[in-house]
Amino acid sequence: MNIIQWMRFLLKVRNFTVEPVPRSAIQSFVEKWHYSHSTNGVQHTQCFALFDGMTMIGAMIYALPSMKATAAKYNPINPLRCWELRRLCCIDDTPTNTESYFIGQTLRWLRQNTDIEVIVSYADLEQGHEGVIYKASNFIYLGNNGGGRVLMVDGKKFHARSMNQVQKPYGRELKRRWNNKEGHSFWDSEEKDMYYQDVKAKNIYVYYLNKKINKKLMK
């Protein structure tokens, strides 16, 4: 983006504000505007809303990574200081670069108000997302996760290992439904209300709020 394009963009977003909000304030917005239409399994740690004047036009959820190994991989020294950008969505027809502007504002807030050091996020190739907004936000591309499987429940996606999360209410509920399934034959049948589904790989992006962490990992 050249200087003229940047000035035009700033004029378009002059009424935009980014605010930390409780999950309840953005729950219905995310379920409407995010492509998954769901927040299943997302144990939030910090949520944000993007406003144009008084109107909400975007929402974002940061959370602990769904798998502990992810945090340990990208921040082995302080894994609890690794968060994942789990949900990001905006209404249609927002100006180009709105998402990267939104991300940038939240990263600034996290740097100033938390001790979080690393942010991980994924671009879903199955949805045609390659990670343009992450590149524009100066995330580092680290390849892809090779694809895998998800657990589909009543048309909604859960992590393949969600039933192992028995310490969490949603994990216990999924386990209960699994145990009640006659013959456990639903795993590979799309005619059932619970089944596994193969998914394409996701591109992995990482942002280091603490630049010293990146330098240590690069050694």
Cross-strand bridge partners of residue 156: 153
Query: Which tens digits make up the pLDDT trace of 92-118?
Result: 988 888 999 999 999 999 999 999 999
- Coil, strand or helix at 135: helix
**pLDDT tens digits along 184-216:** 444 444 435 777 777 778 899 999 998 777 655
- For 46, residues 6+ apart whose C-beta sits below 8 A from its C-beta are 20, 61, 62, 83, 110, 114
- Which CATH architecture best describes the domain 3-143+202-218? 3-Layer(aba) Sandwich (3.40)
125-180 tens-digit pLDDT = 888 888 999 999 999 999 998 777 777 777 777 776 676 666 667 677 777 777 77
> What is the rounded CA–CA span in Å between residue 5 and residue 10?
9
Pairing mode, if any, of strands 82-90 and 156-159? unpaired
Domain ranges in the chain are: 3-143+202-218, 148-199
Q: Which residue's structure tokens are 């591109």?
A: 203
Task: Report the pLDDT value the prediction gives residue 72, as an integer from 0 to 100.
Answer: 92
Exposed e or buried b for every residue in 117-137, given b needs 16+ CB within 10 A?
Answer: bbbbbbbbbeeeeebebbebb
Q: Is the pTM of the predicted complex or chain greater than 0.85?
A: no
